[in-house]
Amino acid sequence: MFSGEFANTQTVYLVLSNLVILIIAVVFSTNIYKTMQSKVKNLNFKALNLTLCAFRLFLILLFVVSLSFMVGGTYNPFLYFRF
């Protein structure tokens, strides 16, 4: 289990396959959300409307990415054998 290496091929594979989740976790664990929220409060109505639209698109994209990770990790050929 512990061979003295810091990272082997399996570690690199797991980090690369979960890179999107790791980046999102790092970004939202900092104070970027509060900074962006204070900047949005200072915007005018048209820019605020555009920002809300962009935020909604971001949430939809995040939902699609999380769904693709869930579906991609649950392939079971025996499930389809029953049908």
Percentage of residues in the chain with pLDDT exceeding 70?
A: 80
Provide the whole-model pTM: 0.44
Query: Cα separation of 83 and 74, whole Å?
Result: 17
Give me the residue spans of the domains in the chain.
9-81
Distances (CA, A) of 4 to 1, 7, 9, 56: 9, 9, 14, 46
- Cα distances from 41 to residues 7, 35, 77, in angstroms, run 44, 10, 51
Dihedral, 41, 46, 49, 50 alpha carbons, nearest 10 = -100
Res 57: pLDDT: 92
